[in-house]
């Protein structure tokens, strides 16, 4: 691509404009309201491991609690494109379907760190801590400032089918205008770059979609793309499930930030505040951490 000529400069400006629009759309669709605290539910032993190592695991999208999660997002795209295909030319639809097929083959590169905006959820206590574990509240801004550079996007998960379809409809329509302006005048290599760029933007959106049955999770997630140059970061659990480590200084009291802002005990947890401090917080840590018991009456 001759970036120094008029066409090349115009195309680059188009890319920049689309990236700015994507950033604004992600904020509008997925990041409002901005949560001050995000919660991670865990058993006592798993939480000890996190606090001792300062490491969270981001799971491959194939191994989340909704086993067909990525397929769910793809189905949303197919449903929307089918219902409004008269708005686009057939070539655009065909190319999108081709990209979907490529995405399905490349799904192993996407990893998810799942947190919740609900600090006292009975279904989450049941699912992740056997009702007697803990959750930790983390400062959102710290997580963002300390996340690896290969983050694709982050935000509140959307569970409403109507909202999901609205988002894809609006985004596909916007990107179709970009496609019409630039794609017809491109060489083959340029065209592949443009359409790959278009599809990647929609891909970011569907990684933040889930089936309505999971709405109780109130999930706020961080989506990472681990490509060939960084795949050495991928590890495998004893059950053969791939994951990547997300390292944060959760208990770094020497920094200006305190990422761990609270610990909450599950509904059947019989410990008191002093027990929690002795289990998780060593004597060198002097800053205040809020410690609560669940308000759910199951004791």
Report which of 251, 261, 224, 267 is spatially closest to residue 112, judged by C-alpha positions: 224
Average pLDDT over residues 145-151: 69
pLDDT band at 122 (very low <50, low <70, confident <90, very high): very high
User: SS3 for 20?
Assistant: helix
Average pLDDT over residues 275-288: 70
- According to the model, what pLDDT value does residue 283 have? 54
Domain ranges for the chain, please list them: 6-293
Average pLDDT over residues 207-223: 92
Least confident segment among 106-115, 151-160, 218-227, 289-298: 106-115
pLDDT band at 140 (very low <50, low <70, confident <90, very high): confident
Averaging pLDDT over each range in 1-5, 68-72, 142-146, which range is the top one? Answer: 68-72
- According to the model, what pLDDT value does residue 252 have? 58
Residue 150 burial class via C-beta count within 10 angstroms: exposed 0-12, middle 13-18, buried 19 and up: middle
Higher pLDDT, 278 or 135: 135
Look at residue 86 and tell me whether its pLDDT is greater than 70: no
Sign of the CA dihedral 272, 276, 282, 288? negative
Least confident segment among 50-54, 139-143, 154-158, 279-283: 279-283
Structure tokens at 142: 């710290």
Higher pLDDT, 121 or 253: 121
The beta-carbon contacts of 44-50 under 8 Å, at least 24 apart in sequence, are 44/133, 44/134, 44/279, 46/133, 47/133, 47/134, 47/136, 47/280, 48/279, 48/280, 50/136, 50/250
pLDDT band at 266 (very low <50, low <70, confident <90, very high): very high
Look at residue 35 and tell me whether its pLDDT is greater than 50: yes
pLDDT band at 295 (very low <50, low <70, confident <90, very high): very high
Average pLDDT over the chain reads: 81
Contacts of 85 (CB under 8 A, 6+ apart): 93
- According to the model, what pLDDT value does residue 1 have? 46
Look at residue 133 and tell me whether its pLDDT is greater than 90: yes
Residues of the chain with pLDDT > 70: what percent? 83
Residue 187 burial class via C-beta count within 10 angstroms: exposed 0-12, middle 13-18, buried 19 and up: exposed
């Amino acid at each position: 691509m001759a970036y120094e000529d008029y066409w090349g400069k115009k195309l680059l400006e188009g890319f920049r404009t689309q990236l700015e629009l994507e950033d604004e759309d992600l904020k509008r669709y997925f990041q409002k309201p901005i949560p001050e605290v995000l919660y991670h539910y865990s058993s006592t032993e798993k939480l000890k491991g996190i606090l001792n190592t300062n490491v969270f695991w981001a799971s491959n999208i194939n191994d989340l609690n909704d086993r067909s999660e990525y397929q769910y997002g793809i189905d949303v795209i197919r449903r929307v494109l089918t219902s409004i295909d008269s708005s686009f030319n057939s070539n655009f639809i065909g190319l999108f379907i081709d990209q979907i097929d490529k995405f399905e083959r490349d799904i192993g590169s996407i990893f998810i760190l799942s947190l919740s905006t609900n600090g006292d959820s009975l279904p989450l206590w049941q699912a992740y801590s056997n009702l007697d574990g803990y959750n930790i509240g983390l400062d959102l801004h710290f997580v963002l400032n300390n996340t690896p550079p290969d983050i694709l996007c982050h935000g509140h998960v959307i569970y409403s089918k109507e909202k999901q379809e609205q988002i894809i409809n609006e985004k596909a329509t916007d990107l179709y205008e970009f496609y019409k302006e630039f794609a017809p005048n491109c060489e083959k290599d340029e065209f592949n770059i443009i359409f790959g760029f278009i599809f990647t933007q929609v891909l970011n959106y569907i990684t933040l979609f889930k089936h309505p049955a999971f709405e109780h999770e109130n999930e706020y997630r961080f989506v990472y793309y681990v490509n060939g140059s960084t795949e050495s970061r991928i590890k495998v659990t004893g059950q053969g499930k791939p994951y990547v480590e997300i390292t944060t200084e959760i208990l770094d009291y020497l920094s200006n930030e305190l990422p761990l802002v609270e610990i909450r005990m599950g509904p059947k947890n019989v410990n008191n505040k002093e027990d929690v401090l002795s289990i998780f917080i060593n004597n060198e840590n002097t800053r205040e951490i809020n410690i609560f018991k669940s308000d759910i009456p199951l004791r």
